[in-house]
């Protein structure tokens, strides 16, 4: 099915008491040390505890006779989310709802002390029914009880989608995955490959400034640009605190409510209120105009009578 820095993934069959199931078999590179085996077993047990409809399930794992670690994952038949967006041309709202599900899946893992560390379009597949599935938690890291990150048996990330702290290898927290989710949102909404902005020292543009579609540029400008910017801020402390907070802000946008990524002001709240209640606002404005016209007419008639 594919290969990379972590190893190779094969389509395989799992035979359980005569019942065959298609699975993805991931063979990891290298032979772990004794300490690495202990960590690998602990991480595998935590990954097996992830039970979410939008996370590919870990079914089994262990070592081959030669000592090569392997993971048996649920096989997901779908398209990478960026390819899905390009082929299917879903509406902006459909894309955002799909991204919210991915954020909720990441939050589920974080609550169970698992950090993904490699959230990118290739690790999110969208099934034929439109549901996304987050893959490759097999290279995730385990979060300690105080959110201090322990060592892990595997180290990997994709530079184009990696948070700044991943490049130094220090301070990895749930904010690292929030950055990856922001990168995912950038690419799915703009339709532009984020890798072209991955040069050292390059300044990340706003999604609306690089989107190829004029309608998308107008739709992304404003709140969605700011949501992406907050998610991908170089300083982890200035990103969304959790993946759930990012999902909540996207849902606020979908509901027409003020988003946390945009600086608050009276004018902004009034504008969002009017956008959220377009019909009622139009009726109220028309009623005010009629009342004003009626008062003006009464004044004219009064002056004439006098």
CA–CA distances in Å: residue 145 to residues 51, 149, 183: 20, 9, 27
Range 271-285 burial, b when 16+ CB lie within 10 A, else e: ebeeeeeeeeeeeee
Q: Are 126 and 98 in contact (CB under 8 A)?
A: yes
Distance CA 190, CA 198 (A): 16
Q: Catalytic pick from 15, 17, 60, 118?
A: 118
User: Could you give the angle at the alpha carbon of 87 between the alpha carbons of 85 and 91, nearest 5°?
Assistant: 45
Which run of H or of E encompasses 117?
none
Q: Is 248 a catalytic residue?
A: no
Distance CA 233, CA 237 (A): 9
Q: Are 243 and 103 in contact (CB under 8 A)?
A: yes
Query: Mind telling me the catalytic residues?
Result: 118
């Amino acid at each position: 099915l594919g290969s990379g820095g972590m190893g190779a993934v094969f389509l395989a069959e799992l035979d359980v008491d005569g019942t065959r199931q298609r699975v993805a078999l991931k063979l990891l590179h290298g032979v772990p040390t004794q300490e690495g085996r202990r960590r690998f077993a602990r991480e595998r047990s935590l990954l097996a505890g992830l039970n979410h409809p939008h996370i590919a399930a870990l079914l089994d794992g262990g070592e081959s006779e030669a000592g090569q670690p392997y993971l048996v994952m649920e096989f997901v038949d779908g398209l990478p989310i960026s390819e899905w967006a390009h082929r299917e041309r879903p509406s902006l709202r459909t894309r955002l709802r799909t991204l919210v599900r991915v954020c909720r899946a990441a939050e589920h893992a974080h609550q169970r002390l698992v950090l993904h560390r490699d959230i990118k379009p290739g690790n999110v597949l969208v099934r034929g029914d439109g549901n996304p599935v987050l893959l490759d938690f097999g290279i995730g890291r385990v979060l300690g009880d105080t959110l201090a990150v322990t060592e892990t048996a595997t180290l990997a990330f994709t530079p184009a989608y990696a948070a700044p702290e991943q490049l130094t290898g220090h301070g990895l927290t749930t904010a690292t995955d929030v950055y990856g989710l922001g990168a995912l949102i950038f690419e799915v909404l703009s339709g532009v490959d984020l890798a072209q902005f991955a040069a050292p020292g390059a300044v990340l543009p706003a999604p609306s400034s690089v989107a190829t579609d004029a309608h998308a540029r107008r739709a992304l400008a404003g709140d969605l640009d700011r949501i992406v910017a907050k998610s991908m801020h170089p300083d982890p402390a200035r990103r969304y605190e959790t993946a759930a907070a990012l999902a909540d802000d996207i849902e606020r946008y979908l509901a027409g409510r003020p988003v946390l990524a945009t600086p608050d002001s009276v004018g902004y709240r009034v504008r969002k209120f009017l956008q959220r209640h377009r019909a009622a606002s139009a009726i109220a404005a028309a009623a005010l105009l009629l009342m004003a016209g009626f008062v003006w007419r009464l004044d004219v008639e009064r002056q004439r009578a006098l």
